[in-house]
Structure 1
């Protein structure tokens, strides 16, 4: 069923739900903001796509988010009844699991790549960035330290290992997001507010990647080999390596900040660096194939490129080199 409301109506409620969750002083307000945010994002998926994949993605997203929201409101009631009691640790445990499910952190990540695979690049960007603001902010306040650090480390490793054999660009970004959530979660565990800086830089990198893939109409790895222009390949090459965290590009800056925070806990730091190296491995493999392989046959529809959009994309790619500035100032 199509809902004939202008897109800005859904965008307004999407922003409103996030603002309510972030600024609320009660757990009920937090839950209400999450629900408004969820119910405004689902019509955006269906209206902008209007195909079977988008409908399937909307149903999956609704079911997962509804289950997580039910656990959130249950843990809120649990906290209200047992506050100050020996059982008061249970609400934080349940809240942590529910918010990790909403974010798509491992081992609750199975829905995230499937939902992202059915969205267009605009909705993919929203799911990768804006939809994470409320759960991450709440999670930084309510989390059970005993379980949260293990979820973060599992997310970092799962996101890195699961992305190796992927051919869909959306799923590669999905598993990259899961890996980055592991880094942010580890920073939260050590009570560092720098996770917000990490998230802002990650959002900028995700925007550049989604804009690049939208501009070149890229959905699968095989389509990278059909690009003729060397400049276009270079743009994709730089942005992918920046998202993977290769120094001295912009993507290395948040991981550098994270390493400064986590340096006091060496085992956690080793696991996170290992996951980052695995991520960089398959990004470099993608980039190597982009430059070395080329097929003449056009097996997918390549839309006409606007020179204005290409100029904007080139300017955005320059942001990937911003990471060199603080590093040069330090050394």
Structure 2
């Protein structure tokens, strides 16, 4: 069994579920797409033979997503019953909280880092990027503004603070995702379409990072100190700083757009910028420690990579370095 890439059948239904959600004209059809997406991802989690945490991660993921899906179908019933009455805001409240749970946003985020720590890097990338598309599409149509903004600010703060003491690369990416969801939902709450651009750039940066960790076989921070190759460290931390939004890297471009969209809501913007600075703190701390420390004892088995993979990652890292160009073009 291939432990890295899932079978074609699961990938087909994963893509099919997202397409059903995106193309559906009813809330029931969107819910059905969410369920197809859920049931196709669980076998992909268990597909890993050498990861002892995969079964636990699959069970936890199924329970949380099933509860959230039941709330989505319950809100569908509420829409049908109270669409023309005074309780018409109640379905929006229920579906907002359910979709926030599916996305792993705070304070419904406790399952997200634990599930992510039990996945392979391919499944980690899918959960960080593709699995968020369907809930985001539904959320953009049905949400309650005040509740969504409160959850977004909570996610930005919790994601930034919780990632400070993490040594697992998967958990660092998990809490970074929670913080980025805070930015995305803040723009969605003010009806700004910039959240789509933000999410696309986030997916690109997450793809490069997960691919780098997989090719270099890096799972924990301490493994970064074992390699003497300076260029590998540069590739990883350019993309980490890009994910954190350091100018002039690519990751700063969507945050700059978010600041332009949220300038009228000054308190929200201040909280988001503060959380982003906290995130950059532990990214730069990782960077400083890795470039200044090196352990001679080989405590970890390192994966031998080819020059082709190194050149490919160098090519992808170039996209993180050209972030200044779209900013300059939009400023003209």
Work out whether the TM-score is over 0.5. Answer: yes
The match for 2:165 is 165
For residues 5-64 of structure 1, the C-alpha deviation after alignment (integer angstroms, 9 at most, x for no partner) is x71000000000001111111111011100000000000111134543000000000000
Whether the aligned pair in 1 keeps the contact of 2:168 and 2:221 (CA below 8 Å) is yes
CA RMSD of aligned residues (A): 1.0
Q: After the TM superposition, which residues 25-174 of structure 1 pair with which residues of structure 2 at under 5 Å, given as runs?
A: 25-49=25-49, 51-174=51-174
Q: After the TM superposition, which residues 169-248 of structure 1 pair with which residues of structure 2 at under 5 Å, given as runs?
A: 169-248=169-248
The match for 1:314 is 314
Whether the aligned pair in 2 keeps the contact of 1:107 and 1:151 (CA below 8 Å) is yes
Q: SS at the partner of 1:299?
A: coil
List, as ranges, runs of 4+ consecutive aligned residues in structure 1 with deviation greater than 2 Å: 48-52, 326-331
The match for 1:264 is 264
For residues 181-233 of structure 1, the C-alpha deviation after alignment (integer angstroms, 9 at most, x for no partner) is 00000000110111011000000000000011111111111111111111111
- In the TM superposition, residue 328 of structure 1 has moved relative to its aligned partner by 3.3
Whether the aligned pair in 1 keeps the contact of 2:248 and 2:321 (CA below 8 Å) is yes
For residues 272-298 of structure 1, the C-alpha deviation after alignment (integer angstroms, 9 at most, x for no partner) is 000000000000000001100001111
- Between the aligned partners of 1:97 and 1:150, the Cα distance in structure 2 is 11
Which runs of 5 or more residues in structure 1 are unaligned?
1-5
Whether the aligned pair in 2 keeps the contact of 1:92 and 1:143 (CA below 8 Å) is yes
- Between the aligned partners of 1:246 and 1:220, the Cα distance in structure 2 is 23
- In the TM superposition, residue 303 of structure 1 has moved relative to its aligned partner by 1.2
The match for 1:3 is none
> What is the number of residues matched between the two proteins?
326
Q: SS at the partner of 2:48?
A: helix
Summarize the Cα distance change of 1:49–1:268 in structure 2 as closer, same or farther, 3 Å threshold: farther
The match for 1:281 is 281
- Between the aligned partners of 2:160 and 2:137, the Cα distance in structure 1 is 24
- Between the aligned partners of 1:140 and 1:53, the Cα distance in structure 2 is 33
Which runs of 5 or more residues in structure 2 are unaligned?
1-5
- In the TM superposition, residue 262 of structure 1 has moved relative to its aligned partner by 0.3
- In the TM superposition, residue 84 of structure 1 has moved relative to its aligned partner by 1.3
TM-score norm. by structure 2 comes to 0.97
- Between the aligned partners of 1:196 and 1:237, the Cα distance in structure 2 is 25
- Between the aligned partners of 1:265 and 1:79, the Cα distance in structure 2 is 30
- Between the aligned partners of 1:90 and 1:47, the Cα distance in structure 2 is 39
